[in-house]
Amino acid sequence: MKAVKAPPPPPFDPWDIAFGSAIMNDYIFRGITQSNHKPSVAAYFEPRYNVTKDLQLYIGARRREHLVPEPRRG
């Protein structure tokens, strides 16, 4: 009986990406509404390049859409 050879490892691809989004019904930061109690959305995209197994280059882009409440006057 012959031993079965393990398949070769996949070729190394130095590029990687991460992305995602969120929908919130009320965006609250430190107890204060940031969206005037209205819905808010957020999205991000992060391309990464692995130079070596210990060194990675990374850029992150984020976008949030919400209404900032106006300060009270009076």
pLDDT tens, residue by residue, 2-16: 888 888 888 888 999
Q: Determine contact, residues 40/74, Cβ cutoff 8 Å.
A: no
Q: What is the pLDDT of residues 23-63, one digit of tens each?
A: 888 777 788 887 777 788 889 999 999 998 789 998 988 88
**pLDDT computed for residue 10 by the predictor:** 80
Q: Which residues have C-beta within 8 Å of that of residue 64, sequence separation ≥ 6? A: 27, 40, 41, 42
Decide if pLDDT at 18 tops 80: yes
**pLDDT computed for residue 48 by the predictor:** 92
Spans of all domains in the chain: 15-65
**pLDDT computed for residue 69 by the predictor:** 55
